[in-house]
């Protein structure tokens, strides 16, 4: 790309960013034809810039509806909080839609994760998690049924699972281990989250432990990649002068 064309692309992007700011979250941008004429650029150039802004999480393109301004991604730091606690902390109103609740016998993999015998009765609850009425995540939780007798999944529509486990069953979650990987949403998952099929997603698998060390919960959560970002702080190990000298001496052998 020539310097002139590159400069024009950057200018177009700046003007689109101004338009995004003017429209605000949820605002609908004018059709591509109108934008192309307004900014005096080729449709293909415009599409490339719109696609870049979509990948940056600033725009959301809905098939047959148009291009809309996305909300700012929620930054999830590695603190052990329930979804409800986290959304309240960010000034959003958490809620859930309970999609299903059932009992099932633990297969080999679930039994291994929850540290129970295969065939142990488990409670599976699937929820759509929302923040201020916007779909954010699809969550599937597994609990050992004998530890939560009389569990009513319906109360999770407006309440926190962690708060319920502590208040009613004395199960206070103190720690968790998580695995994070990138994936894509199938048609059913995408439909529930209000995005296009095969949209990128973040899959988080979590094992939550009580203070005693017992596993309380195994959960799989699909987060919208355009609305969620995980932030982790890392540090280099501190190497003392003595250790550095020992390393150099070992290297001389």
Domains of the chain, first to last: 3-69 (1.10.10.10), 74-230 (3.40.1410.10)
pLDDT at 127 exceeding the cut of 90: yes
Total-model pTM: 0.63
Cβ atoms 175, 80 nearer than 8 A: yes
Q: Which helix (H) or strand (E) holds 170?
A: none
Q: Which residue carries 């016998």 as its tokens?
A: 105
The pLDDT tens digits for 20-32 are 877 776 778 888 8
Work out whether strand 228-230 and strand 74-76 pair parallel, antiparallel, or are unpaired. parallel
| List of residues 6+ apart from 1 with CB closer than 8 A | 9
Q: What was the pLDDT predicted at 22?
A: 77
Q: State whether the Cα torsion 180-186-192-193 is positive or negative.
A: positive
Mean pLDDT over residues 221-236, rounded? Answer: 73
Which of 49-63, 121-135, 231-245 has maximum average pLDDT? 121-135
What is the DSSP annotation of 104-129? EE--HHHHHHHT--TT-EEEEEEEEE
Report percent pLDDT > 70 for the chain: 81
* Confidence check: pLDDT of 245 > 60: no
Give the pLDDT of residue 4: 63
Whole-angstrom distance, CA of residue 125 vs CA of residue 139: 8
**pLDDT at residue 1 is higher than 60:** no
pLDDT-based confidence at residue 56 (cuts at 50, 70, 90): low
Name the more confident of 71 and 91: 91
Closest CA to 143 of 158, 165, 170: 165
- Which band of pLDDT confidence, cut at 50, 70 and 90, is reported for residue 242? low
Mean per-residue pLDDT over the chain, rounded: 82
Is pLDDT of 232 > 90?
no
């Amino acid at each position: 790309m020539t310097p002139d064309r590159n400069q024009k692309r950057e200018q177009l992007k700046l003007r689109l960013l101004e338009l995004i700011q003017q429209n605000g979250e949820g605002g609908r941008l004018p059709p591509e034809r109108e934008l192309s004429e307004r900014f005096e650029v080729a449709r293909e150039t415009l599409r490339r810039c719109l696609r870049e802004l979509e990948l940056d999480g600033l725009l959301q393109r809905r098939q047959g509806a148009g291009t809309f301004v996305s909300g700012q991604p929620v930054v999830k730091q590695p603190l052990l909080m329930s979804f409800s606690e986290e959304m309240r902390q960010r000034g959003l109103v958490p809620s859930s839609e309970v999609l299903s609740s059932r009992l099932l016998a633990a297969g080999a993999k679930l039994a291994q994760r929850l540290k129970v015998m295969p065939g142990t009765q488990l409670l599976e609850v699937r929820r759509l998690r929302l923040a201020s009425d916007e779909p954010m995540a699809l969550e599937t939780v597994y609990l050992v049924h004998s530890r939560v007798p009389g569990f009513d999944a319906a109360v999770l529509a407006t309440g926190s699972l962690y708060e319920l486990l502590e208040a009613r069953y004395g199960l206070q979650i103190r720690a968790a281990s998580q695995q994070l990987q990138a994936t894509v949403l199938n048609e059913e998952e995408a439909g529930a989250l209000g995005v296009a099929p095969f949209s990128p997603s973040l899959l988080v698998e979590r094992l939550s432990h009580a203070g005693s060390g017992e596993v309380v919960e195994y959960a799989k959560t699909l987060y919208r990649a355009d609305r969620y970002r995980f932030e982790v702080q890392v540090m280099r190990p501190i190497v003392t002068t003595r250790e550095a000298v020992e390393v150099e001496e070992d290297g001389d052998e």
